[in-house]
Amino acid sequence: MAAPLPKRIIKETERLQSEPVPGISAEPHEENARYFDVKVDGPSGSCYEGGEFQLELFLPDDYPMCPPRIRFLTKIYHPNIDRLGRICLDVLKNNWSPALQIRTILLSIQALLGAPNPEDPLNEAVAKQWKENQPEAIKTAREWTTLYAQKK
Partner 1 sequence: MNLLQAAGPLSVSSGEGQSYSGVNEKADLMRQDELAAAEQKNASPSDLGAHDDARALVRLIQCSRCSLPFRMPVTLPCGNTICRACVPQSHEREHISYPDLPGRRQAFRCPFQQCAEEHPVSDCNVDVVLTKLMDSIAEVVAKHASAIERTPAALEAAERWDEGVSLPEKMATQEALAGRLVTTYLLAAEGKLARDAQMDYLPTPEVSGNESAMDVTILSELLETTQREVDCQVCYNLMLDPVTTFCGHTLCRNCLARVLDHSQHCPVCRRGLSIAPSLHSQASNKTLVNLLNGLCPEAVSARAEAVALEEAGGEGGLNTSLFVCTLGFPNQPTFLRIFEPRYRLMLRRCVEGSKEFGMLMYNRYLEPQGDLGPVHFYHYGIMLRIIHSQLLADGTSLIETRGAYRFRVKAHGVMDGYAVGNVERLDDVPLVEEERLEAEETSLPPAAEDDLAGQLTRMSTKDLLALGQDFIVRMQARSANWLQQRVLDIHGLPPDDAAMFPYWFASVLPISDEEKYKLMGTTTVRQRLKITASWIRRIESQRWYQSNSCQIL
Any idea which residues carry the catalytic annotation? 88
Q: How far is the CB of 126 from partner 1 (least distance, A)?
A: 30
* CA–CA dist 44, 49 (Å, integer): 5
Does 152 bind partner 1 (CB under 8 A)? Our answer is no
Q: Report phi then psi at 103, rounded to 5.
A: -55, -50
SS3 content of the chain, % helix, strand, coil (to 5): 35, 20, 50
Give residues with Cβ within 8 angstroms of 111, minimum separation 6.
Answer: 43
Q: Letter for the amino acid at 84? A: L
Does 3 bind partner 1 (CB under 8 A)? Our answer is yes
Does 1 bind partner 1 (CB under 8 A)? Our answer is yes
Does 73 bind partner 1 (CB under 8 A)? Our answer is no
Does 31 bind partner 1 (CB under 8 A)? Our answer is no
Decide whether 101 or 129 has the Cβ nearer to partner 1. 101
Does 65 bind partner 1 (CB under 8 A)? Our answer is yes
Q: Which stretch binds partner 1 (CB under 8 A): 4-12, 25-33, 40-48, 103-111?
A: 4-12
Q: Which residue in 17, 32, 44, 97 binds partner 1 (CB under 8 A)?
A: 97
Does 90 bind partner 1 (CB under 8 A)? Our answer is no
Q: Which residue in 19, 22, 99, 151 binds partner 1 (CB under 8 A)?
A: 99
Please, are residues 107 and 43 in contact by the beta-carbon 8 Å criterion? no
Residue 76 backbone zone (phi > 0: left; psi -120 to 50: alpha; other: beta): beta
* Count, residues near partner 1 per rule CB under 8 A: 18
Q: How far is the CB of 63 from partner 1 (least distance, A)?
A: 9
Does 18 bind partner 1 (CB under 8 A)? Our answer is no
Strands 24-28 and 52-58 come out as unpaired
* CA–CA dist 112, 10 (Å, integer): 27
